[in-house]
DNA sequence: GGACGTTTGTGCGAGTCCGCACGGAACATT
DNA sequence: AATGTTCCGTGCGGACTCGCACAAACGTCC
């Protein structure tokens, strides 16, 4: 079960890959291959997490919410570049957020206790803390986007972030799902998608969005895309 | 220069207080007392931070921005319950955010390198990582508030968070400052403040806002206030 | 006490998004 | 083929915030 053995692009989780061999071995003994079906709830607010997940395919969504769940918004997006359960790296086993599988896929998981042990290793801890840093930058820029961007641009930003985390150019999601992530009306997503389609940036059909023009999308988002990605690259790539 | 020696409520930084004596001693040898004048820039985007700050009075603001600075929004608020330079705790010496002193005060500072050394101590690292966790929850809920709340409520939330971090009930800030933090027009802040005043929740005069009714403010914000505060209390208080 | 800069109050038209609501289209099941 | 379910398209009035612009109030410095 070597994480990086399959040859095609993007196989394996990028946090687990690029790790010193000794560490990789340590991790591998505790990693378990799992399926990540769409809709699976990975973490519930204020409940101890039993496993942390390292996706290799699919996208996981971290959702901030009020205690009663009256308001919900996506605060973080995780794909094969990251992991769920960042709070474990930060020394606690629960958080007030909910974490779900947004786009089905697969990955590895590890018992929380095993990760806590492995975090004794300085090199591993450093790498995962760097990821927590990148994730917090992502959240901050989501706050920025929520405050300053129009719905079209926020949608474009979300599609870009999602595109970074999948293989190919097709996102299989309904407008309804997207509206929850962005915290807007479903109908608003429909209209905004039409705008993006009108610009030739995407092509949407029932339950599926195909990204046609990444650069066009980036242009539409302006400076609100790219900062978290650059920070991730600085600390965790290469 | 003992951190907690002054007798009045709230003196001292709460991250530094409540620390095992051995750790406190370790820290104290490296802490330096400093003034935090309003407007002081503590961290610049993508520049190495030289010191981390532990306020005892005043409020520090972490601002997420686009690379050109075209869009800015407050992503985090830090008072005597916290520290600047969380990215150092997460293993890097820079971030794309800007950090400034929003309300003047005072505190302690420490050279980044000294903190990096001190973080070898498990107990200190754990405590500061817990703080990073609480801070990231705060940022996530700012994203939530930016997406879902009306301006009045966002303003009320900001005032509550600020009130938690100061002594007394008076916030000395202009509408213009507030508008930058909330990412809205200055005139919008003026109008929203009138609404809060109309409800008897605050009293505003030139450059000063007095909080009259905390509970009323909390009610106005709904569930979007309190979650990060509870998480902080769970991990770092008592 | 007059001049200046800062801060606050107010107004107006325009744009965005909301809540609600309904019709139609695509797919699944039987 | 018929039925039910999910998903998407569209419309309308209203609420909120924007951008712009100007006037009034306050404080400071000569």
pLDDT number for residue A11: 57
Report the share of chain B in percent with pLDDT over 90.
88
Mean pLDDT by 10 residues, chain A (238 residues): 39 86 88 94 97 97 95 96 98 97 95 96 96 98 97 97 95 95 96 96 95 96 95 93
Region of residue A205 (phi > 0: left; psi between -120 and 50: alpha; otherwise: beta): beta
- CATH number corresponding to B149-227: 1.10.10.10
Delimit the CATH 1.10.10.10 region(s) of chain B.
Answer: 149-227
Tokens describing residue A40: 């699976």
CB nearest to B148's CB, from A73, A126, A132: A73
pLDDT at B1 over 50: no
Question: In the complex, which nucleotide's C1' lies nearest to the CA atom of residue A152?
Answer: C16
- Assess B135–A contact: CB distance below 8 Å, yes or no: yes
pLDDT number for residue A8: 36
Closest CA to B54 of B90, B73, B74, B27: B27
d(CA B144, CA B140): 6
Contact: A92, B136; criterion CB under 8 Å:
no
Residues 2-61 of B with CB under 8 A from A: none
Delimit the CATH 2.60.120.10 region(s) of chain A.
Answer: 14-146
Which chain B residues contact residue A223 at CB under 8 A?
A: 66-68, 70-71
* Whether B187 CB is under 7 Å from strand C: yes
Residue A225 sits at the vertex; the CA angle it makes with A90 and A11, to the nearest 5 degrees, is: 65
- Assess A99–B contact: CB distance below 8 Å, yes or no: no
pLDDT number for residue A72: 95
pLDDT number for residue A6: 40
Contact: B183, A147; criterion CB under 8 Å:
yes
Mean pLDDT over B101-113 rounds to: 96
Kindly report the nearest CA distance between residue A8 and chain B, in angstroms.
32
What is the number of CB-based contacts under 8 A between chain A and chain B?
Answer: 150
Considering the entire predicted model, what is its pTM? 0.94
| CA–C1' B101–C15 (A) | 35
Residues 6-65 of A with CB under 7 A from strand C: none
CATH of B14-146, one of 1.20.120.80, 2.40.160.20, 2.60.120.10, 2.30.30.90: 2.60.120.10
Question: In the complex, which nucleotide's C1' lies nearest to the CA atom of residue A188?
Answer: C17
pLDDT number for residue A9: 36
- Assess A119–B contact: CB distance below 8 Å, yes or no: no
pLDDT number for residue B11: 57
pLDDT at B6 over 60: no
Contact: A64, B96; criterion CB under 8 Å:
no
| CA–C1' B101–C17 (A) | 34
CB nearest to A133's CB, from B72, B87, B228: B87
Report the share of chain A in percent with pLDDT over 90.
88
pLDDT number for residue B5: 41
* Whether B2 CB is under 7 Å from strand C: no
Tokens describing residue B61: 């603001």
Q: Which residues contact B144 (CB under 8 A, 6 or more apart)?
A: A64, A65, A66, A71, A72, A73, A75, A183, B224
Residue of A nearest to B129 (CA): A90
Mean pLDDT over B141-149 rounds to: 97
Contact: B183, A142; criterion CB under 8 Å:
no
For A73-123, write each residue's pLDDT tens digit: 999 999 999 999 999 999 999 999 999 999 999 999 999 999 999 999 999
Contact: B146, A141; criterion CB under 8 Å:
no
Contact: A132, B90; criterion CB under 8 Å:
yes
Tokens describing residue B228: 């990060």
pLDDT number for residue B22: 85
For the residues of chain A, what is the DSSP string, one character each?
Answer: --TT-S-STT-S-TTTSS--HHHHHHHHTT-EEEEE-TT-EEE-TTS--SEEEEEEEEEEEEEEE-TTSSSEEEEEEE-TT--S-HHHHTT-S--S-EEEEEEEEEEEEEEHHHHHHHTTSHHHHHHHHHHHHHHHHHHHHHHHHHHH--HHHHHHHHHHHHHTTSSSSEE---HHHHHHHHTS-HHHHHHHHHHHHHTTSEEEETTEEEE--HHHHHHHHGGGSSHHHHHHHHHH--
Contact: B230, A71; criterion CB under 8 Å:
no
Radius of gyration of chain A (CA): 18
């Amino acid at each position: 079960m070597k994480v990086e053995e399959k040859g095609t692009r993007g196989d394996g989780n990028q946090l687990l890959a690029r790790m010193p061999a000794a560490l990789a071995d340590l991790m591998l003994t505790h990693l378990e291959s799992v399926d990540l079906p769409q809709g699976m709830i990975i973490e519930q607010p204020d409940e101890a997490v039993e496993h942390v997940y390292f996706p290799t395919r699919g996208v996981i969504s971290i959702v901030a919410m009020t205690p009663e769940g009256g308001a919900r918004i996506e605060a973080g997006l995780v794909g094969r570049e990251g992991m769920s359960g960042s709070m474990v790296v930060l020394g606690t086993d629960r958080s007030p957020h909910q974490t779900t599988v947004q786009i089905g896929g697969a990955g590895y998981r590890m018992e929380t206790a095993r990760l806590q042990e492995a975090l004794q290793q300085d090199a591993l801890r450093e790498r995962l803390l760097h990821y927590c840093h990148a994730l917090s930058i992502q959240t901050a820029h989501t706050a920025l986007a929520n405050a300053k961007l129009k719905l079209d641009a926020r949608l474009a930003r979300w599609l870009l972030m999602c595109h970074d985390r999948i293989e190919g150019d097709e996102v299989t999601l309904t407008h309804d799902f997207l509206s929850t992530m962005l915290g807007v009306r479903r109908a608003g997503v429909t209209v905004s998608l039409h705008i993006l389609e009108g610009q030739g940036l995407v092509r949407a059909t029932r339950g599926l969005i195909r990204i046609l023009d990444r650069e066009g999308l980036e242009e539409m988002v302006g400076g609100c895309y790219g900062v978290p990605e650059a920070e991730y690259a600085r600390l965790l790539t290469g």
